[in-house]
Amino acid sequence: MKILVVDHDEMSASLLKSRLEPLGHAVTYSPARHEAASEFSKADYDVVFVDPSPSTNPKPMVMNLRRQIRYNPYMVLMSESFGEEAALGFGFNDYLPKPMDLSQIDQKMENAKHFLSLVQHLRDGSQDFPSAGGIIAKSAINQLFLSCIDRADRYAEKTYALFIGLRNFKQIAVESGPYEAEVAGARLAQHIVRLRRASDIIGQISMNEYALLLLRPVDAQEPIEAAARFADSLGICKDILTKPDMKVEIDVKLLEIPSGAKLAEHQVMLSS
């Protein structure tokens, strides 16, 4: 990934470079905040680490940078004085406390990978899926997803995205035939629609995967409980199996937006 580090502290920047460059990332260092805008014009950076000190309100800088570009870079606030809540309020995706811990750097990069992969996948318009049966098209859920990112930037509002898919879809297609794989996927979709809350928005994002946007939960625990509820409920949906000897593997994964943090992951196994 292309990474920009904006920090007046050269030692912190060197620590980031020494950690990230051996992993294959290209790291550019800019010591001054006012140079960040010009750096953005030179390359499409995937991840940006920013220490805004001595500024006490970096939000105008973050909003200005985001307005200048047409993609969604992953921006991380580095700070000794601000915390995670402040980072979200300023329009950052995530927060890295100083002094930096190497394991936390790795975790932020993992979160960035989740977030950027999702952005790229939803933005890919090479294949769309029509709205049907309470499930909206991939292009439609992408627009809602972009709106959620914008609300996070502007209003510090978190969204939770739950992904449910047939992990062994291709294997089913090979062993039982493409038709059986499609029927299993359709039955999975019917159960997802049945199990959702009225406010949950479902979209089909690939042939074998669906995304649910869990908007405005009561608290941070509710989406985690929802992921567990879906996994438990799908574990008894034997009608997804279309043949007596079929095996179905279902993945349930919960991501927090805009941080991209993976909050829960379940694997459901169905067999006759």
- Is residue 95 located within the same domain as residue 142? no
Q: What backbone phi and psi angles, to 5 degrees, belong to 229? A: -65, -45
Secondary structure of residue 252 in the 3-state scheme: strand
- 27-52: per-residue pLDDT in tens? 999 887 666 767 777 788 999 999 98
* pLDDT > 70? residue 140: yes
| First and final C-alpha spacing in the chain | 44
**Do residue 18 and residue 55 come from a single domain?**
yes
Tokens describing residue 127:
């294949």
Same domain for 149 and 100: no
Judge if pTM exceeds 0.85: yes
Q: Quick one: pLDDT band at residue 234, thresholds 50, 70, 90?
A: very high
User: Does residue 133 lie in a domain region?
Assistant: no
Q: What is the pLDDT of residue 89?
A: 93
Q: Is residue 23 part of a domain?
A: yes
Residue 78 falls inside a structural domain: yes
Q: Are 53 and 86 in contact (CB under 8 A)?
A: no
pLDDT > 90: what percent of the chain? 74
User: Which among 162, 160, 163 is positioned nearest to 259, based on CA atoms?
Assistant: 160
* Domain-located, residue 51: yes
pLDDT, average across residues 98-105: 91
| Token pair recorded at residue 256 | 């927090």
Q: Is residue 131 part of a domain?
A: no
Tokens of 88: 């979200």
Q: Domain of 213: which CATH number? A: 3.30.70.270
What are the CA-CA distances from residue 150 to residues 91, 143, 166, 225 (Å)? 9, 11, 30, 26
Q: Which domain range does residue 58 map to? A: 2-123
User: Can you tell me the distance from the alpha carbon of 178 to that of 170, in angstroms, rounded to the nearest whole number?
Assistant: 8
Q: pLDDT-based confidence at 106, cuts 50/70/90?
A: very high
Domain count along the chain: 2
Comparing 27-36, 161-170, 215-224, 247-256, which segment has the lowest mean pLDDT? 27-36
3-state secondary structure of 168: coil
3-class SS at 1?
Answer: coil
Do residues 35 and 41 make contact, with C-beta atoms less than 8 angstroms apart? no
